[in-house]
Structure 1
Amino acid sequence: MERPEANIKPDKAFKKRLKSWWNGDESPRPDVAFAKKMTKIGGSVENDGPPTVNGWSLSRQQSVVTLFGEGMTRCIPDDVKSRMTQPLGINKTLSVSELGSGLGGFARWVASEYNAYVTGYDEDPTLQDAAIEMTTMAGLNRKVNFFHGDFENFAPKERSANIVYAAEALFCVKNKRDCFTTIRRMLKPPGQFMMSDYMLDGVAADDPVLADWQKAEPLTPHLLDVQETRKLLTDIGFEVSIAENVTDTYKANVLRAFSDYAKRTGNGEKSGHLHGWILKEGELWTRRIQMMDEGHLKVFRIYARSRVEIF
């Protein structure tokens, strides 16, 4: 059953929650181990300057983990991870790659859940370094590796993966044809590609209703219509079998993450110096959810297989 709060206008819901969170000055409890890891990597998490969602300072890393869970820079609850990965048939004999691996939480979850070897690629060197450190501390560095990946000029080893998945990792890529072509080449045929991302559906990419949101995003979005995305993948050599609109579920999961945090703070958890950082993160997600609520932005999950080449 859908949560009642999922039907509340997100601007009002978030405003009410955000206002109620800031009740203390003590350090936060949600992930003490994470705080220690981040301090070891780069020093004090309380000296990162003013709160911002531009870049990945230590405080921002800690704030998103506080909201979304261990190693997560975006909202992908464990039940969503399961729904995304179970159809892929992941096991220890298959090589798996994640695009947009962030702090490595999803990659480590896949390695632990399926006893699989996972390679993560991220465009941000700060996140890559932190993911490597956290994975080593978790004792999973033999199962999970991380590399820098510029998705505008992506150059992984060809035929290096049986499965590639990406969650909200490619919506800022401008040259999607080249990126998708590279993904197809990195797959061992018949490989599997699963992506979940922000897309358009009946709204033009240059529609003025998108302008303010695009300017406010940390990285400039370059969005495609879902049918355009499907055709592009097909032209490149994928067989697309699923293009599912998961916007409502996505919105509910984000609202749940912020609601759960509000509940924890209501039970005495203190936000400390993360006060402003989580507020900034809330503003970012409020804008995204409001665009979805107004029908301008949607989230689609696409599943595709690379066709077997016959010579």
Structure 2
Amino acid sequence: MSFVAVRSWLRRLSPPPVMMALSSLPEPAPVPVLAEPDPPDPPEPRWTKPRIAVADSLWGDGFGLPGGEDEILRLAAPLGLSRAATLLLLGAGAGGPARVLAGTLGAWVSGHEADPALVGVAARKLSQAGADIARRAEVAPWDPAAPALRRRGFHHALTLEALRGTPDRPVVLQALLADLAGALRPGGQLVLVELVAGERRDPADSRLAEWARSEGRSPGLVTAAGLTTALAGVGFDVRVVEDISVRHRRLAIEGWVSLLRGLAQDRPAPARAAATVAEAEIWLQRLRLMQAGHLRLMRWHALGPR
């Protein structure tokens, strides 16, 4: 089944009676203009409770990326984590990666997440995962533009699309990577997973800007070669640069098809249905841009500065 077919089916879940009821409401009375208008409402958080619930259904409890637990363990495998290892986890999401890395591999995980809603969910999930995991794993807020990571505090690092909140300026990226390099102990390793500009990327393509807005990103993505050069520039010895786009797309489609089968048996409530359709639109944008060569998901494995 194609992702377009999944999206088409999900759209039929939208509750038209709700929209009809709203459209039948009388027009509100005019409001007099005040001397000092009220401040604008704060923007709606990107990760609402319904959206987090959809992500849990797609990828597993507390995960935000295709593949869930199995994919996190595959990505972390080169690091050789054990109960004696400390891990810096950037892009910790809603707590799933920290939980599995601490629970399955026994590592001491210091997770960092830029989205405050996800930080709160992650803290709750980790506290409910048992005393040993709650002791070994944590997720704290951080600002990618001003990371301030603990110097020489970690044996290894794993980053999961952690550059999404970084301003589109090379100097900011360089500062983040330098801080990341300084956070590793001598001999430490890094696995970095990030979306980068594809070979066919057209900066003038409006689809890229629309996708960037939907994912809370800057449309000015770094290239794979540019990120490799930036890593080397702060002292990393890059050993592996791998394009994992095909695997990412396959896992994403598998997740959506599995969710679709579940919804066929249990029709969701209107709020959940709306969140599911909205999430499907975001993923459709990403996968189409990847298929067209505008985006790539890459994996780096590097040795830190000594």
TM-score range, shorter chain: 0.7 to 0.9
| Alignment-derived partner of residue 212 in structure 1 | 210
Taking the aligned partners of 2:11 and 2:46, their CA distance within structure 1 comes to 25
| Alignment-derived partner of residue 82 in structure 2 | 91
Asked if residue 293 in structure 1 is aligned to residue 285 in structure 2, the reply is: no
8 Å contact kept, 2:89–2:112: yes
130 and 120 in structure 1: CA distance in 2 versus 1, 3 angstrom threshold? same
Q: 1:193 aligns with which of 190, 193, 203?
A: 190
Secondary structure at the counterpart of residue 241 of structure 1:
strand
Instruction: Give the % identical residues.
Output: 23
204 and 297 in structure 1: CA distance in 2 versus 1, 3 angstrom threshold? closer
How many residue pairs match? The answer is 272
252 and 17 in structure 1: CA distance in 2 versus 1, 3 angstrom threshold? farther
What is the CA distance between 1:207 and its match in structure 2? 4.4
76 and 177 in structure 1: CA distance in 2 versus 1, 3 angstrom threshold? farther
| Alignment-derived partner of residue 68 in structure 1 | 59
Taking the aligned partners of 2:201 and 2:282, their CA distance within structure 1 comes to 22
What is the CA distance between 1:147 and its match in structure 2? 1.4
233 and 66 in structure 1: CA distance in 2 versus 1, 3 angstrom threshold? same
Scaled by the length of structure 2, the TM-score of the pair is 0.82
| Alignment-derived partner of residue 162 in structure 2 | 169
| Alignment-derived partner of residue 181 in structure 2 | 184
1:209-241 CA-partner distances (Å, limit 9, x unpaired): 633333443343441110111011011100101
> Computing the radius of gyration over CA atoms, which structure comes out larger, 1 or 2?
2
| Alignment-derived partner of residue 32 in structure 1 | none
What is the CA distance between 1:130 and its match in structure 2? 1.7
What is the CA distance between 1:278 and its match in structure 2? 0.8
Question: Unmatched 5+ residue regions in structure 1?
Answer: 24-51
1:41-74 CA-partner distances (Å, limit 9, x unpaired): xxxxxxxxxxx98522222221211222101123
8 Å contact kept, 2:245–2:290: yes
What are the within-5 Å matches in structure 2 for residues 275-294 of structure 1? 275-294=273-292
| Alignment-derived partner of residue 115 in structure 2 | 124
What is the CA distance between 1:261 and its match in structure 2? 0.4
Structure 2 counterpart of 1:141, one-letter code? A
Secondary structure at the counterpart of residue 134 of structure 2:
coil
Structure 2 counterpart of 1:155, one-letter code? A
Structure 1 counterpart of 2:292, one-letter code? E
Q: Root-mean-square deviation (CA), in Å?
A: 2.2
1:248-303 CA-partner distances (Å, limit 9, x unpaired): 1100111111000011122x223213010111011111100010111111111111
| Alignment-derived partner of residue 261 in structure 2 | 263
Asked if residue 79 in structure 1 is aligned to residue 70 in structure 2, the reply is: yes
Question: Unmatched 5+ residue regions in structure 2?
Answer: 16-42
Taking the aligned partners of 1:215 and 1:251, their CA distance within structure 2 comes to 20
What is the CA distance between 1:206 and its match in structure 2? 3.2
| Alignment-derived partner of residue 25 in structure 2 | none
1:141-191 CA-partner distances (Å, limit 9, x unpaired): 111112111011001110111111111221341221111111000000111
147 and 77 in structure 1: CA distance in 2 versus 1, 3 angstrom threshold? closer
Asked if residue 103 in structure 1 is aligned to residue 84 in structure 2, the reply is: no
Secondary structure at the counterpart of residue 72 of structure 1:
coil
88 and 254 in structure 1: CA distance in 2 versus 1, 3 angstrom threshold? same
What is the CA distance between 1:132 and its match in structure 2? 1.0
